[in-house]
Amino acid sequence: MKRYYVRFAGAVGALAVTLAATGCSTSGPDSGEGPAKASITFWGWAPGYEDVVKAFNAGHPHIEVDFQTVQPGAKGGYQKMLNAVKAGNAPCLAQVGYETMPSFAAQGALEDVAKHAAAAERDYQPAAWNAVTLGSGVYGAPVDTGPMALFYNKKVFDSLGLKPPATWDEYRAAAKRIQASGPKRYISSPYLDYDYAGFAWQAGADWFGVQGDSWKASMDSPANKRVADYWQRLADEGLLSSAPMYDQSWYNGLSDGSIATVVGAVWQAGVIKGGAKASAGQWAVAPMPQWKQGENKVGNAGGSATAVLKGCENTAAAWEFAHWMSTDPDAFGTLIEKASLYPAATELLAHRQLKADPYFGGQNIYEVIAAASPNVDSGWTWGPLMTTTVAKLNDGLGKAWTGKGTIAQALKEAQTATLAEMRKQGLQVTP
């Protein structure tokens, strides 16, 4: 299997410099066996997590997990976690995307649980395991992966005689046909942060890399400009809805057919099902459009770990729950049902619930995902300060989608802000 998540292993030197500069250690207190009943807190936002916690508590009387819902990471959850670590009152466990694990490591916000977790390495896909490790340290349990595909309203496409576009040129042509069928009908809506990053990922338009012990950034590269100019053109031609993703207006558009596609990760299936119930049976899934006919390249958006945060006093209990949630068939079945997550655990890749879905017209969408997964580009690297990068990028993208700037400018400004913050925090940066 290709290794398509930016692992700590790919940035050991650069992160080691940061860890040394901040004076943080890679191990922390552990209460060992502790009291008869351990209590740990878990922050997250994914649908189904609360149900899984209840099931765990019912079957594990020696550990009680308190699940607390926080805002999704990019919407404030990550900053809340980092603030809690700094204040010394962080939960033991937190839902952290693979893209943000290097950022948390660089800020000394993770606890090494290798003494409990090392033996579980073979339970996970190699790429997912590498996403939670740095050298010999293990900092959480992989949960899911996020290969991308094309979610499309088959009813809308069929009514216009359209087939799922195989290339991005065909996607634009379909956008024009859809718009021509009604002034308030669009092929898609604007994308932000990691959803947009998936397009760059597919195109081989890297954002960050490591050179020796230094970081380098390339968000303003020609490859990135190509992707940016494509989406800018769709926006300038009025082919995209103004409804922000995950806003109620976006869900309304998915429900009534006025937004005909979502290009996103496998977990978008759960988002669409939960927010657009009125269009059940109308949606289908196809491979991600390609830049060149005949290519088979796939981006990735998301995938997360149950990370152990710095200061956790009972890492044994924390790891026991985190590992159980990712590998227990019944527990993960709940996550498939509630959030359409695609498992990181190898034994669950043939899970009984990865099956045909009436919402998608009886299609087994996971067959598309299974075929896409090995084709995710293995060369992508996340930066060490993604919270800074994404905050600046989203500000610029928000302006670009409304005609107050360009996507290319947003990328360049995000790079400039990120590099400045890297230098401020003492990270080595290659000019």
Q: One digit per residue, pLDDT tens: the chain, 431 residues?
A: 333 344 454 454 555 444 433 333 333 445 444 456 899 999 999 999 999 999 999 999 999 999 999 999 878 999 999 999 999 999 999 999 999 998 899 889 999 999 999 999 999 988 889 889 988 899 999 999 999 999 999 999 999 999 999 999 999 999 999 999 998 999 999 999 999 999 999 999 999 998 888 999 999 999 999 999 999 999 999 999 999 999 999 999 999 999 999 999 999 999 999 999 999 999 999 999 999 999 999 999 989 999 999 999 999 999 999 999 999 999 999 999 998 899 999 999 989 999 999 999 999 999 999 999 889 876 788 999 988 999 999 999 999 999 999 999 999 999 999 999 999 999 999 97
Q: Is the same domain home to 139 and 19?
A: yes
- Cβ-proximal residues to 247 (8 Å cutoff; 6+ apart), any chain: none
pLDDT of residue 195: 93
Whole-angstrom Cα distance, residue 377 to residue 4? Answer: 6
Q: Is the same domain home to 166 and 246?
A: yes
- Out of 317, 335, 353, pick the residue that ends a domain: 353
- Cβ-proximal residues to 63 (8 Å cutoff; 6+ apart), any chain: 37, 38, 39, 40, 56, 57, 317, 320, 321
Q: Is the same domain home to 287 and 312?
A: no
Whole-angstrom Cα distance, residue 406 to residue 417? Answer: 17
- Cβ-proximal residues to 256 (8 Å cutoff; 6+ apart), any chain: 278, 279
Q: Is the same domain home to 130 and 165?
A: no
Whole-angstrom Cα distance, residue 217 to residue 215? Answer: 7
Number of H helices, E strands in the chain: 17, 14
What CATH number has the domain bearing residue 64?
Answer: 3.40.190.10
Range of the domain at 260: 148-300+380-424
Q: In the chain, how many domains are there?
A: 2
pLDDT of residue 210: 87
Q: Is the same domain home to 256 and 405?
A: yes
Q: Is the same domain home to 36 and 80?
A: yes
Residue 368 is assigned to a structural domain of this protein = no
Residue 331 is assigned to a structural domain of this protein = yes
Residue 359 is assigned to a structural domain of this protein = no
Q: 53 is written with which tokens?
A: 């916690």
Whole-angstrom Cα distance, residue 72 to residue 50? Answer: 15
pLDDT of residue 276: 97
Q: Is the same domain home to 137 and 191?
A: no
Q: Is the same domain home to 317 and 280?
A: no
Q: Is the same domain home to 232 and 327?
A: no
Residue 250 is assigned to a structural domain of this protein = yes
Q: Is the same domain home to 117 and 244?
A: no
Q: What is the pTM of this model?
A: 0.84
Q: Is the same domain home to 313 and 419?
A: no
CA angle 257, 191, 362 (to 5 degrees): 45
Q: Is the same domain home to 166 and 233?
A: yes
Residue 314 is assigned to a structural domain of this protein = yes
Residue 2 is assigned to a structural domain of this protein = no
